Chain A
Amino acid sequence: MLLICGTIPKDDFPLAVGPVSFDGASLLLNGAAIPCTQGTAALASAACEVAEYLGAERPHALLVGDRGTGKGSRLLYEHLIKNLSSLSPGVVVLHYMLPIMGLMKKVCQSVEKCRRRPVMIADAAAMYAAKAAGLAPQFDIFTPDHSEMAFLADPEASHPAYVSRHLFESDGAMIPELALASYKQRGAAIMLVIKGATDYIVEYGKVIGQISEPDIPALEAIGGTGDTISGMLGAFIQAGFPFADAALLTARVNRLAGQYARATPATKIREIIAAIPAVLKDHVNKENLSSLSERSMLNDRN
């Protein structure tokens, strides 16, 4: 099971867990319709599209309302700490939640108690908490953008708002160095999927893949285009794709979805997600997934 954990921007949305689906405009969970906007709703919606195309089990989501006070986030952490072992997910994606280092440490302790250790992916503030608490090496994958990469490489910053100016101002060409520095300082997960003008796939501090085509500069402006990467990545890995293949495929599909949606800086994330099925149909041969015959589409350097 792919378990997606995060908050949604509603004060009165109680903690809920269950299989989710995407109807083209909203994420559906236990009869509730959650608008597919930037954040965990976008992540889960993109995961749903991939799972549906692959004929895989529907993703599950653990969601709670939180508009920033942290009350819902604390409920989410506590639920995970108590129930992760019994939920027994294969892949966990931690996403929008107030970064609380002490609670993130307890979540990681719960992971170690699972009979079968799940693949752990973190994005957004869950990634901030993991890095700030010194827990990054316990995660399999982080999905930062370029500014978040600077944060991971800054040994003293506990949030991207306090990152050193010289790291923030470093351009995209510095990403491999930042990735290596973050790995050496134990600020990085085993794999990094770094979103930007060029997407970098980094494993154990070394770049193993780059994706820069199709070049859709507007994607950077569209809220949720990083969330879709984390969601699709989780779904591909849950379906059995090796991490590197899943990462390269995800980065490519995300760009193609922007191209198919004719993305402009004003495009909304639901329009990008709506384009994912057509991209998958055109570019991912699900009859032959095990051999990934479309490997040639994965990496610019292949």
Chain B
Amino acid sequence: MRMKTNNKTSIDGEGLILFNNVEEALYGEKVLKAAGYEAKLVAPPPELRKGCDLAVEINLVEKTGIERLLKEKMADCLEIVPVKGKGSLLEVVRVTDFGEAVMVKAGNMKLTFDKKSGTIVNISGGGCPDIPSLHADLLDKKLSEAVRPKEKGYTLCSLMLDRAFVESLDLWKNHRKE
């Protein structure tokens, strides 16, 4: 459960939540603030505008936790986009075969699993505070039994780790079939 904070800092978070209509935007902001997130109603720049002309500014790095919260509270939104640059997350992954283990790299996150058992033997990279927690939760768990990182993480690092996890699970399942 996210704790409520009293921080009044106006955010400069590089992220926007876009909504279909004004009512959804107002509800989304209310839900986020009640959960302690910094959030502010803003007019999205024309190049990002979709749906209505009201958006909620957030700290983009908190995308994973915010998406999960909005879903739990049935607060519909169109998408969460960065204010600058391209709007899509890095999709590409890289795979390194160490022989007994395979490392999958997604963005700044790397997950390594044992080929035979499918056990997660290491997680490296990242920098957000949910990563050491996910590292402790996932280490020595089997890929097939572990909870996906995006179900427990809060940040973009956990989303990258989730990408590595999903790819690792696919690789391991295919390896077992061979």
Binding site for B on A (CB under 8 A): 7-9, 35, 37-41, 66-74, 95-103, 123-128, 132-133, 145, 147-148, 151, 154, 156-165, 168-169, 217-218, 220-226, 264-268
Pair A125/B157 contact, Cβ less than 8 Å: yes
Is B24 interfacial (CB 8 A cutoff)? Answer: no
Q: Which chain B residue shows the least CB distance to A128?
A: B127
Is B7 interfacial (CB 8 A cutoff)? Answer: yes
Residues of B within 8 A of A41 (CB): 132
Residues of A within 8 A of B96 (CB): 217, 220-221
Given the known interface contacts A265-B101, A266-B101, the answer about A73 and B108 at a Cβ–Cβ threshold of 8 Å is no
Pair A161/B124 contact, Cβ less than 8 Å: no
Binding site for A on B (CB under 8 A): 2-3, 5, 7, 9-14, 36, 59-62, 65, 82-86, 88-92, 96, 98, 100-101, 103, 105, 107-108, 110, 112, 114, 121-133, 135-136, 153-160
Pair A37/B136 contact, Cβ less than 8 Å: yes
Q: Which of A100, A102, A151, A224 contacts B124 (CB 8 A)?
A: A224
Pair A74/B122 contact, Cβ less than 8 Å: no
Q: Which chain B residue shows the least CB distance to A69?
A: B2
Q: What is the minimal beta-carbon distance from A210 to any residue of chain B, in angstroms?
A: 21
CA distance A99 to B156 in the complex (A): 11
Residues of B within 8 A of A124 (CB): 126-128
Q: Which chain B residue shows the least CB distance to A219?
A: B124
Residues of A within 8 A of B157 (CB): 125, 159-161
Q: Which of B3, B61, B82 contacts A71 (CB 8 A)?
A: B3
Pair B127/A158 contact, Cβ less than 8 Å: no
Q: What is the minimal beta-carbon distance from A266 to any residue of chain B, in angstroms?
A: 4
